């Protein structure tokens, strides 16, 4: 693997810097300083979450709607916990039991909800661009909780926070991202954020699951899992998106063959003693990694989940007008 960066310091926030973002639609619109600033604020929220009473009243006068058109466990619960721990009024919308089932459009849904006076919207949707579309429909701050295969910015922020926790800084960290690169919104946000903060990124997976010109995003591509695991500080395994395999396209011959070539195994942990394992979840045990690997002490997957609450508190705080916790 070639050297992509050798400066080991974290991104510095210049004096006079002000966080001026109104929304979080993706990390493409955020500068390195914006990203680092969110991570810096999240350190304070992480400390608050470790207190006996992990609550602060910073969003006491805010009303937030969580608008989920796609399934979610981690992102949805994490956002809701973050909002409640900051004292916000929280409304949950689930498309499956809403008037969307009677044919109501997204625009009408959001305009109706907006007329009930809301300050922020967290949205997950299967279509790329939905978060951006909502900024044109309502005045509230919009946070993208995953839009199709486009971006999942809070996942990447919590991933970078976790990398910073175990590696000291994101800059100079060697990250191997392994799996279904083509269909992943997590990888897109991570590549954008990790490169802005100066990490080295190598993508690994079957050729059919790696887009042709992805190296234009400043990453390298490898088809050799052993080489990647020997090189990296952190292996971030991505979910094989089974629901997309059902559309009739075969991206690899079988799950068994995928696991054989690209699954992380206990034998890798023994042979390569340095790397840690991340996964955004949900995990397909026995596919992306052996079950014992997911539960291994070198897996920091549940740290990612815990950190997600602090990171989401930080971005909610900043987008509600907070400056420095
Ligand atoms: N990582 C992630 O987005 O998980 P959920 O789909 O459960 O929210």
Q: How confident is the model at residue 96 (pLDDT cuts 50, 70, 90)?
A: confident
| pLDDT, average across residues 264-283 | 98
Least confident window among 89-103, 162-176, 182-196: 89-103
Gap between the Cα atoms of 292 and 265, Å rounded: 8
Residue 97 DSSP code:
G
Sign of CA dihedral 318, 309, 92, 125: positive
| pLDDT, average across residues 124-144 | 96
Query: Among residues 62, 76, 152, 312, which one is catalytic?
Result: 152
Contact 35, 170 (CB under 8 A): no
Query: Can 124 be counted among the known catalytic residues?
Result: yes
Query: Can 162 be counted among the known catalytic residues?
Result: no
Gap between the Cα atoms of 162 and 278, Å rounded: 9
Q: What is the pLDDT of residues 145-155, one digit of tens each?
A: 999 999 999 99
pLDDT of residue 254: 87
110: helix, coil or strand?
helix
Q: What is the pLDDT of residues 199-234, one digit of tens each?
A: 999 999 999 999 999 999 999 999 999 999 999 999
Least confident window among 1-5, 11-15, 307-311: 1-5
pLDDT of residue 246: 60
With a cut of 90, say whether residue 104 has pLDDT above it. Answer: yes
Q: How confident is the model at residue 1 (pLDDT cuts 50, 70, 90)?
A: confident
Contact 325, 41 (CB under 8 A): yes
Q: How confident is the model at residue 95 (pLDDT cuts 50, 70, 90)?
A: confident
Which ligand 1 atom is at minimum distance from the Cα of 146?
A: 3
Instruction: Please give the share of the chain, as a percent, with pLDDT higher than 70.
Output: 96
Query: In sequence order, what E strands does 75-195 have?
Result: 89-94, 120-125, 141-147, 174-178
Gap between the Cα atoms of 9 and 197, Å rounded: 10
Average pLDDT of every residue of the chain? 94
How many angstroms is it from 312 CA to the middle of ligand 1?
13
Q: Is the peptide bond before 282 cis (omega within 30 degrees of 0)?
A: yes
Which ligand 1 atom is at minimum distance from the Cα of 70?
A: 6
The closest of 160, 159, 121 to 140, measured between CA atoms, is: 121
The token pair that represents 290 in the structure block: 């052996």
Gap between the Cα atoms of 69 and 53, Å rounded: 32
Residue whose Cα lies nearest atom 5 of ligand 1: it is 72
Query: Can 324 be counted among the known catalytic residues?
Result: no
Specify the residue for token string 């054989």: 260
Domains within the chain, CATH numbers bracketed: 27-150+306-319 (3.40.50.1370), 153-301 (3.40.50.1370)
**CB 74 less than 6 A from any atom of ligand 1:** yes
Specify the residue for token string 């992805």: 214
Contact 267, 238 (CB under 8 A): no
């Amino acid at each position: 693997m070639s050297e992509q960066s050798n400066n080991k310091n974290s991104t510095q926030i210049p004096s006079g810097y002000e966080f001026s973002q109104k929304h979080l639609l993706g990390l493409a619109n955020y500068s390195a300083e914006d990203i680092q600033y969110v991570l810096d604020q999240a350190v304070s929220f992480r400390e608050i979450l470790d207190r006996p009473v992990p609550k602060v009243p910073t969003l006491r006068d805010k009303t937030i709607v969580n608008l989920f058109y796609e399934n979610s466990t981690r992102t949805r619960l994490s956002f809701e916990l973050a909002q409640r721990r900051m004292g916000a009024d929280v409304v949950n919308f689930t498309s499956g039991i809403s008037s969307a089932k009677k044919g109501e459009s997204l625009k009408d849904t959001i305009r109706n909800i907006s007329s009930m006076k809301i300050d922020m919207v967290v949205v997950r949707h299967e279509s790329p661009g939905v978060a951006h579309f909502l900024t044109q429909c309502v005045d509230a701050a919009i946070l993208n909780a995953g839009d199709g295969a486009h971006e999942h910015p809070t996942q990447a922020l919590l991933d970078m926070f976790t990398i910073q926790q175990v590696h000291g800084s994101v800059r100079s960290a060697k990250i191997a991202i392994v799996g279904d690169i083509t269909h992943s919104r997590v990888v897109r946000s991570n590549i954008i954020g990790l490169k802005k903060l100066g990490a080295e990124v190598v993508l690994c997976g079957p050729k059919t699951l790696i887009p042709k010109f992805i190296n234009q995003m400043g990453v390298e591509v490898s088809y050799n899992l052993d080489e990647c695991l020997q090189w990296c500080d952190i292996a971030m395994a991505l979910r094989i998106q089974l629901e997309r395999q059902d559309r009739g396209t075969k991206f690899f011959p079988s799950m068994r063959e995928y696991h054989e070539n690209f699954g992380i195994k206990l034998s890798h942990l023994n042979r390569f003693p340095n790397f840690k394992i991340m996964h955004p979840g949900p995990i397909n045990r026995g596919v992306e990694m052996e079950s014992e690997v997911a539960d291994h002490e070198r897996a920091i997957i549940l740290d990612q989940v815990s950190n997600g609450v602090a990171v989401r508190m930080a971005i909610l705080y900043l987008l509600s007008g907070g400056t420095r916790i």
